[in-house]
Amino acid sequence: MKLTRRQRHLAHQTLIYAAAALASVICVFPFYNAILTSLRTGQELFLTNYLPTSFHWENYVNALMVNGIARSLLNSFLVATVTVGICLLVSITAAFALARIKFKGRKYILFTILCVSMFPQVAVLSGMFELVRFLGLYDSLGALILSYTTFSLPFTVWVLTTFMKSLPVELEEAAIVDGAGLWIIISRIFAPIMGPSLVTTGLLAFIGAWNEFMFALTFIISNEQRTVPVAIGMLQGASQFELPWGNIMAASVVVTLPIIIMVLIFQKRIVSGLTSGAVKG
């Protein structure tokens, strides 16, 4: 009896480790495969191999310099940073009011914000096109910053509101007793405590803006203004039948690596940021 229980335990453990290994391999393999491909050139590209066979860096040089991915990286970085900056600035006060003050219409505002975060991007595409043209922003990074606010702002307001709600009431009460006004409470008490949550929210919004494709594809025409997703989406070979897979994979690795590193560094915060809306909401 004792032996079978031990055996059962052993079988259970084996199963868990096997499943964990399988899940990890499936999750990481496509990226690993992209790295392998990015290091191959010429005929080697077309021999399927699961281990590194060569280390050529030409693809990276080509992608960054010849195909202009370096320029696109800078564009993406600029657009994402400015969008996140604006959204965080505007949403911290809004989140304070929505989480901490009981006022008429609070529920409706939260509901509206939730709705906006869910509506399909294509629904505003032609209206946004008109607005962008009217403001003279067509084919410039400003068009992207403007349009990315559509999906970043509802997100940052929502997540920051959730974070603010979880802070203890006593903090604010003490400040009110001491005679602090709302602005002091926000800037001196909540902003510092919110630091880590701001980083998390900002990072998530940054990733959203970094990855956006439809607006970037529609509002940007020239190569110099392209963001990275569009630049990669548009990488073409000399002919239709000769796609430069080595270059594409090199560019893909370059774009993904910074995000993966950031995500792994902030792992715990990212997970709590992702799930805060769902579990507490």
Partner 1 sequence: MNHHSESLPSKETASKANQQSEALPQKKKCSLQQRRSRAAWILVAPALVLLASVAGWPLLRTLFYSFTDAALDTPDLYNMVGFDNYLAWADGESIGVLADPLWWKAVLNTLWFTGVSVSFELFFGMLLALLMNQKFRGQGVVRAAILVPWAIPTIVTAKMWGWMFHDQYGVINDLLTRMGVIHSPLAWIAEPNLSMWAVVIADVWKTVPFMALMLLAALQMIPSDLYEAARVDGATAWQRFTRITIPLIMPAMIVALIFRVMDALRVFDLIYVLTSNSEATISISGYAREQLVSYQQMGSGSAASVLVFMMVAGIAACFLYLGRYNDEGKENK
Coil/strand/helix, residue 251: helix
- Regarding 14 and contact with partner 1 (CB under 8 A), the answer is no
Among 140, 142, 263, 269, binds partner 1 (CB under 8 A): 263
- Regarding 125 and contact with partner 1 (CB under 8 A), the answer is yes
DSSP states of 163-190: HHHTS-HHHHHHHHHTT--HHHIIIIII
- Kindly identify the residues of this chain, within the stretch 180-219, that bind partner 1 according to CB under 8 A: 182, 186, 207, 210-211, 213-214, 217-218
Nearer to partner 1 among residue 65 and residue 126 (C-beta): 126
First CA to last CA across the chain, in angstroms? 47
- Kindly identify the residues of this chain, within the stretch 30-89, that bind partner 1 according to CB under 8 A: 30-31, 33-34, 37, 45-48, 50
- Regarding 11 and contact with partner 1 (CB under 8 A), the answer is no
Q: Interface with partner 1 by CB under 8 A: which range of 3-11, 66-74, 113-121, 193-201?
A: 113-121
Q: Interface with partner 1 by CB under 8 A: which range of 52-60, 62-70, 188-196, 262-270?
A: 262-270
Q: How far is the CB of 84 from partner 1 (least distance, A)?
A: 14
Q: How far is the CB of 268 from partner 1 (least distance, A)?
A: 9
Token output for 27: 């999750």
Tally Cβ neighbours within 10 Å of residue 95: 26
Q: Cα(211)–Cα(207) distance, rounded to whole angstroms? A: 6
- Regarding 221 and contact with partner 1 (CB under 8 A), the answer is no
Rounded to 5, what percent of the chain is helix, strand, coil? Answer: 80, 0, 20
- Regarding 98 and contact with partner 1 (CB under 8 A), the answer is yes
Plot region of 51 (φ>0 → left; ψ -120 to 50 → alpha; else → beta): beta
- Regarding 91 and contact with partner 1 (CB under 8 A), the answer is yes
Plot region of 70 (φ>0 → left; ψ -120 to 50 → alpha; else → beta): alpha
